[in-house]
Amino acid sequence: MKIMTKLFEKIKSHSKKVALIGSLFLAIFAGLFCLVNLDLNPLKNSATNIASISPIVDMNAEIKNRLGSITFSVETYNEWAKRNGLNNTNNGLDNDSDKDGLPNYLEYVHGTDPLKADTDGDGYTDKQEIMKGYDPDAPGDAKPAVEITVSKINVAVPMVWSQSEAEEDMLKDLEGGVSHYPKSAAPGQNGNMIISGHSSNYVWAKGGYNYIFRNLNNLENGDVIIMKTTQANGRVIIYKYKVTDKFIATPDDEEIFSQETNPVLTLSTCWPIGTNFERLILKAEIVR
C-alpha cells in the first residue's frame, strides 16, 4: 500500500513534465501529417482550378504559362520561307515563284503555299480566291469569318457574305449581322466593298442586329473602322479604314456603287431612323 502511494505521488509531482512531453509529441505528429497529406503548393493544378472557378480565361496567357515563355507568335517570315522551300533567289517579299499573282509576303500573311498556285486544290488560284473573298487555304467556297468594329459607336458585329441581291435574301442575311453586298470587293482588296446594316426595324423582326447602325451618323471624317478576318487555318488579318465622306442618298444612287481602284469601304443604312426611303452613306479608305 505504501509502495502504491509513493508511486502516485511521484507521478503527480511529474504531471507537468508528462503533459509538456505529450503536447510536444502531438504537435510533431500533426506537422508530419500535414506534410504528408496536404497540398501546400498553390500553383499545383492551377489550370484545373482556374477552369473550375471561371470559364472565361485568357487562353493566350494560359498557353504562355504552359510554355514557360514570355511571348509567342507565328513563325517569322524567314522561317516560313525556309520551311516552304524558298531560297536566296526566290525568297524576296515580292517574288512570285508559283506565278499565281500573289507575292511572297501575301502568301506568308495568308498562310498559303508560295510554290503552289492553288494551295487548297479547288481549281482557283490563291490570288483569285483572295480577291473574291474566298479562303485560299480552305477547299470549296469557304470564306473567312469577318468582324467589323467601330469603337466610337460601340459596334462589334459579324459580317455575312450575302450570295443574293434579292431584297428578301439580304433581309434574311441581316438577321445575322451586317451584309456584304454580292460582287463588291473583299476586305483589304482593291475596289468598293459595300456593307449594309439596319438602323431600325419592326419590333417583331427576327435577329439581334436590328439597330446595329443606328448611331452611324455620329461618325466623322477620320474616325476608324476595323475589319478583322479569320481564315480556317487560323490566320487573322486586320484591316483599318478611316472615314473620308458622309452623305444622304437614294437607295439606287450611283455613288454608293462607284467603281474604285483602291480599297474603299462603303457603309449603308436606312435613314432617317424608322424609314427606308433614303440611305445614310459613309465612305472610308484603307490605312496603309
Cell of 225: 473602322
Residue 50 lies in a domain: no
User: Going by C-beta distance under 8 Å and a sequence separation of 6 or more, which residues neighbour residue 118?
Assistant: 100, 124, 125, 126
Regarding whether 212 and 127 lie in a shared domain, the answer is no
Residue 231 within any structural domain of the chain? yes
Which range has the worst mean pLDDT, 18-22, 185-189, 266-270? Answer: 18-22
Residue 47 lies in a domain: no
Residue 164, in any domain of the structure: yes
Between the alpha carbon of residue 174 and those of residues 25, 188, 205, 253, 256, the distances in Å are: 76, 22, 11, 21, 19
Choose the weakest-confidence range: 4-18, 190-204, 263-277. Answer: 4-18
- Report the distance separating Cα 194 and Cα 268, nearest Å: 7
At 99 the pLDDT is: 95
> In this structure, are 167 and 264 located in the same domain?
yes
Digit-coded pLDDT (tens) for 59-100: 667 767 776 766 666 788 999 999 999 999 999 999 999 999
Cα 104 to Cα 115: distance, rounded to the nearest angstrom: 9
Q: What is the pLDDT of residue 26?
A: 52
Tell which residue, 247, 270, 286, has the closest CA to residue 196.
Answer: 270
Number of domains in the chain: 3
Per-residue pLDDT at 15: 52
pLDDT at 139: 85
pLDDT attached to residue 55: 47
Domain identity same for 123 and 212: no
| CA–CA–CA angle 132, 137, 142 (5° rounding) | 55
What is the tens place of the pLDDT at every residue in 26-46?
555 455 444 433 333 333 333
For the chain, give the mean pLDDT.
83
In this structure, what are the phi and psi dihedrals at residue 66, rounded to the nearest 5 degrees?
-70, -35
Pairing of strands 145-150, 236-249: unpaired
Torsion over CA: 99, 100, 105, 107 (sign): negative
- Residue 20 and residue 86 share a domain: no
106-162 pLDDT, tens digit per residue, is: 898 899 999 999 999 989 999 999 988 999 988 888 999 999 999 999 999 999 999
Rounded Cα distance between 149 and 159, Å, is: 10
Indicate whether 279 pLDDT > 90: yes
Q: Which three cell numbers stand for residue 41?
A: 503548393
Same domain, 30 and 121: no
Query: 175 with 92, same domain?
Result: no
Any domain includes 140: no
Owning domain of residue 254: 145-286
Q: Which of 237, 266, 263, 229 is closest to 142 using CA atoms?
A: 229
| CA–CA–CA angle 207, 209, 214 (5° rounding) | 145
Confidence (pLDDT) at 72? 60
Q: Is residue 62 part of a domain?
A: no
